[in-house]
Amino acid sequence: MKQIGIWLDKQETNGVVLNNGKESFFNIVSELDFYNPKGGARSKTKWGPQDVVQDSKYLEREKHQLKKYFEEIAEQVSDADELAIFGPAETPDKFLDALKTRHSRLADKVKKTETTDSMTQNQFKALVKKSFGADDR
């Protein structure tokens, strides 16, 4: 039985594959651009117009890049029998939603989603084993 645990945020995905007592790790780096738009600028005249920051343009670009990133992850874990998803903030939930809309058979294999902070590779491996009920020998 192939069990895969992934920890993902918007920068990268780390995964551990448990397959018949063997462990392997993988890493996927996202290509998301991190935008830090500056605030609007004031005109030189008193009470003049302000330049408006177009957040929608940045958010739309991020949405498309996130969709591509989630597709890469789904392709990497497509042969899993069971899947556990971990990560900070709302990223695991966003990924699960993407799976439900585009890869429903893979979404059915998700056994657990949990919000976690970053951790070492050994801590992550132990968390994945615990999630699937595998003992650490």
Q: What is the pLDDT of residues 20-35, one digit of tens each?
A: 889 999 999 998 887 7
- Cα 28 from Cα 136, distance rounded (Å): 25
The Cα 84–Cα 111 span in angstroms is 6
Is residue 40 predicted with pLDDT exceeding 90? Answer: no
Domain residue spans in the chain? 2-32+57-132
Higher pLDDT, 133 or 81: 81
Which residue is associated with the tokens 């059915």?
Answer: 108
Average pLDDT over residues 109-119: 94
What pLDDT is recorded for position 51? 62
Q: Which residue has the higher pLDDT, 86 or 53?
A: 86
46-65: per-residue pLDDT in tens? 776 666 667 788 889 889 99
- Lowest mean pLDDT, pick from 31-35, 104-108, 133-137: 133-137
The residue ranking higher by pLDDT, 21 or 86, is 86
Residues 55-81, mean pLDDT to the nearest whole number: 92
B/e letters for 65-75, b = 16+ CB within 10 Å, e = fewer, are ebeebbeebbe
> For the domain with range 2-32+57-132, which CATH number is right: 3.30.70.1230, 3.10.180.10, 3.50.50.60, 3.30.420.60?
3.30.420.60
